[in-house]
Amino acid sequence: VSEAFTAINAGARHLKLFPANVLGVASMKAWRDVLPAAISMLPVGGMDASTVGEWAAAGAAGAGFGSSLYKAGRSAEEVTARTAELVRAWLG
């Protein structure tokens, strides 16, 4: 959290929480209790359709996706389908 306040004092308004799958939703909730309400948090790392809804419900402003969305060799159609699945999971 001290790094978050350093970033905020330097002008940051959005914080990337990485690796989200290691930090966990409980960490973001705890940070939410001490950080200014105007600061948005974006979990990244280990995010997929089975976890993103929990982060959204906990107040994440968005999320970042890597291999759960794209890997070399995936077709555009597969990436599009995965994107739709992630959006549905985010919206609940």
Say how far apart CA 16 and CA 76 lie, in whole Å. 27
The CATH number of whichever domain residue 40 belongs to comes to 3.20.20.70
Domain residues for 73? 2-91
Is 0.85 surpassed by the pTM of this model?
A: yes
- Give the model's pLDDT for residue 67: 94
What is the pLDDT confidence band of residue 12, given thresholds at 50, 70 and 90? very high
- Mean pLDDT across the chain, nearest whole number? 96
Q: What is the DSSP string of 12-30?
A: --EEEETTHHHH-HHHHHH
Strands (E), 1-92: 14-17, 40-43
- Give the model's pLDDT for residue 3: 94
- Which whole number is the average pLDDT over 20-29? 96
What is the pLDDT confidence band of residue 4, given thresholds at 50, 70 and 90? very high
- Count of the separate structural domains present in the chain: 1
Say how far apart CA 30 and CA 60 lie, in whole Å. 12
Do 44 and 18 contact (CB within 8 A), yes or no?
yes
